[in-house]
Structure 1
């Protein structure tokens, strides 16, 4: 039997509740469209009480983004077991799971939302990118990457971010296909980097030695070989086909 008496929350518990409510609302609509009144109603408290815990919508917005940024960065955390291609695919599945669940919130985090230009928001975005970068280097088993490899990894992190933002606009490509494509993009960028840099080449060869033929990287090789076989024969230097 319930008494109908509402339990009084402590200060930190109430703050965390409001952050969770705000993040949930931001996950379905742009933060610009969510008012303090809506957040208060969803939390079951009055508007003045929201301001008791947060001085304004901006501070609540940034606290919600802080939680989103921490969760997003954690999606890149993966046990260092098994082939790299399979690990990256699991990372992309979790990354796009977050993007899919928190579309407007993800866009607000990466594009700035109502806090565009805010040093706090920009710092959070940089933290997510840096965490992803460091996690990928850890997967590669590289502590001090050569300059070209560092450029490749940072480029891929940016590619994953921009691809997710574009995908949210219409979700025209099946999510699973895009997750696999980004893993293939990583392999392709690494291969190009290896073609220009011996240090990156050694890392790539070490990784490929552990990749199974039926893994994501092996599948990419199969696709490329199939494309190459469909090309017309190219005349050799003496007019013979090659």
Structure 2
């Protein structure tokens, strides 16, 4: 971050700098608590110059959210190689990296922040969820998901969001445990759905067939077996 340094920048370069400065400030405090004066000072420019590039705080906030949402959606990108459980565990690791690094900003993105109810904010949140859904289906090798699989995937994405938001409130559960638990949650949701639907049962069988003995899905089976005993 540039502090107290004035230099001539092109329009787009300056806009990107301001977005970066705003994101860094939003990662430490709620966007509601960050003023335009703070952003200007951190960027090394005057308050009026900030308004030259952005009509107001809301437009800067939405631009920062756009960059954050693109970053968060990219955390779900994972090569389709190896067992699904290990892939989802790596995805959850990157997801919680973002949550850990951008706590207040993540909360603002998912809860709307100062732009609660705005069409732009809602669209950004939906874009992250849609990207996550699409990437998970790629991992599953499914292009046109049946209704029950759609329900499993979207329910799991919502669960990951709510788990991350609750975790941010005190971080009372070790992060690594939550990452693994969320992968177990995906398997559990799929297993319950498979009990009602033959197509889901076939998909679950295919997923489990490729798992390794030391993978997260096998770990879940071991834990449940121990409970049943």
- TM-score normalized by the length of structure 2: 0.97
Question: Following TM superposition, where does structure 1 have runs of at least 4 consecutive aligned residues deviating by more than 4 angstroms?
Answer: none
Report the Cα distance in structure 2 between the residues aligned to 1:186 and 1:154, rounded to whole angstroms. Answer: 10
Q: Secondary structure at the match of 1:196?
A: coil
The residue matched to 1:114 in structure 2 has which SS? helix
How far apart are residue 213 of structure 1 and its match?
A: 1.2
Given that residues 26 and 102 in structure 2 are in contact (C-alpha distance below 8 angstroms), is that contact kept between their aligned partners in structure 1? yes
Unaligned runs of 5+ in 2: none
Partner of 1:103: 103
Task: Look up the match of 1:232.
Answer: none
SS at match of 2:172: coil
State the Cα deviation string for residues 155-210 of structure 1 (Å, max 9, x = none).
00000000000000110000000000000000000000111111111111011110
- Aligned pairs for 1:177-188 within 5 A: 177-188=177-188
Q: Unaligned stretches of 5+ in structure 1? A: 230-242
Preserved CA contact (<8 Å) 2:27 2:103 = yes
Tell me, what secondary structure is at the counterpart of 1:219?
helix
Local SS of the residue matching 1:223:
helix
2:222 corresponds in structure 1 to 222
Partner of 1:160: 160
Structure 1 segment 137-176 matched on structure 2, within 5 A: 137-176=137-176
1:226 & 1:56 partners in 2: Cα distance?
A: 57
* RMSD across aligned positions (CA): 0.9
Q: Which residue of 1 aligns with 2:65?
A: 65
1:93-138 deviation per Cα after TM superposition (whole angstroms, max 9, x unaligned): 0000000000000000000000001000000000000100111011
Inter-partner Cα distance in structure 2 for 1:67 and 1:214: 37
Q: CA deviation at 1:147?
A: 0.4
The alpha-carbon deviation at position 7 of structure 1 amounts to 3.9
Counterpart contact for 2:6–2:44, Cα < 8 Å: no
SS in 2 for 1:145: coil
Q: Please name the residue that 1:234 is paired with.
A: none
Tell whether 2:17 aligns with 1:56: no
Q: Distance in 2 between matches of 1:147 and 1:45?
A: 52
Whether 1:79 aligns to 2:79 is yes
Q: TM-score, normalised by structure 1?
A: 0.92
Tell me how far apart the structure 2 counterparts of residues 39 and 6 of structure 1 sit (CA, whole Å).
14
**Per-residue Cα deviation, 1:199-240 (whole angstroms, up to 9, x for no partner):** 1111110111100111000000000111111xxxxxxxxxxx
Work out the number of aligned pairs and report it.
225
